Amino acid sequence: MIELKELVKRFGDRTVIDRLTITIQRGETFGLLGPNGAGKTTTIRILTMLTKATAGSVRIAGFTLPEDEQKIKSLIGVVPQFFNLDNELTAEENLELHGRLHHMDKAERRQRITSLLEYVELDDRAKDPVGKFSGGMKRRLMIARALLHRPQVLFLDEPTVGLDPQVRRRLWDLIRRMNEEGITVLLTTHYIEEAEHLCSRVAIVDKGKLIALDSPKELCHRVGQFVVEWTEADALRTQFFASREAAAQFVGNLSCVAAIRHSNLEDVFVELTGRKVTG
């Protein structure tokens, strides 16, 4: 559904995306994981035609950028990282405006607005100004807006940034529902648990380079399924093991208190790059 080949983006002499090659299958929920400044949002901006690549090729649903730009725009939905709703308009009016911009038939537009407000559980707030909405409500409305014209691909750039854990998990349920209905989802995030819960595969990027790509489970297997953590010389130490038994044997030989836990994607990232995912 999405093909990036040798994608490059430079700003002056600074390379933000460095020969990035990724293929995302139809119906997949795919995550771009990495620290701030890794090139995640820039990649989304190229795919959503907000900026142009310096080099490389992009294909979406069989169409090529920039040649088929107008056709691709009709096939994608975008939920940006920052709120860009009109706070003076109601939820219903925000969707109405979006539908008109996509030249949707009036009858279909009205039907979609009604059904999508119900889908994101905002039907009881349809007539309320968006300026009165919470962050989680605004994010759900932005998702409804992105789905209005029935896109095949949905781009979510940091969809739960700044939201509390309860609201974040509610949005996870919504994203899963969309994917189960056949929409291909590409999301950027630096929330580890978000990628682990939602994505069938993730690409870990750092300084614009692809450093690993696989399922969360397989990426954890690469470094070891279990982690031993202990403090030594006022620094946290870690060691990876393929089995809990091997980890327990290692702990038995230590002269200090240690903890054993399952590895996660943050462990993978730190092991591969020496850097934290967040921050």
Tracing tokens 């490389």 back to the chain, one arrives at 56
101 CB neighbour count, 10 Å cutoff:
10
Judge whether 184 and 153 are in contact, CB under 8 Å.
yes
169 CB neighbour count, 10 Å cutoff:
15
Judge whether 60 and 9 are in contact, CB under 8 Å.
no
Distance CA 42, CA 51 (A): 8
Tracing tokens 């607005």 back to the chain, one arrives at 113
Q: Which pLDDT value is given to residue 159?
A: 87
Q: Which pLDDT value is given to residue 278?
A: 46
Judge whether 140 and 174 are in contact, CB under 8 Å.
yes
Q: Which pLDDT value is given to residue 122?
A: 95
Q: Which two tokens stand for residue 111?
A: 């039907």
Q: Which pLDDT value is given to residue 34?
A: 81
Domains of the chain as residue ranges with CATH: 2-215 (3.40.50.300), 219-273 (no CATH)
* φ, ψ dihedrals at 75, nearest 5°: -105, -5
Q: Tell which residue, 148, 173, 172, has the closest CA to residue 160.
A: 172
Burial 17-52 (b: 16+ CB within 10 A, else e): bbebebebeeebbbbbbbbeebbbbbbbbbbbbebe
Tens-level pLDDT at each residue, the chain (279 residues): 999 999 999 999 999 999 999 999 999 999 998 877 889 989 999 999 999 999 999 999 999 999 999 999 999 999 998 899 999 999 999 999 999 999 999 999 999 999 999 999 999 999 999 999 999 999 999 999 999 999 999 999 988 888 888 888 888 988 998 889 999 999 998 787 888 889 999 999 988 999 999 998 899 888 898 999 999 888 888 999 999 999 999 999 998 999 999 988 888 878 877 655 444
> Who's near 115: CB < 8 A, 6+ residues apart?
none
Q: Which pLDDT value is given to residue 279?
A: 40
pLDDT tens-place string over residues 161-172: 888 888 888 889
67 CB neighbour count, 10 Å cutoff:
9
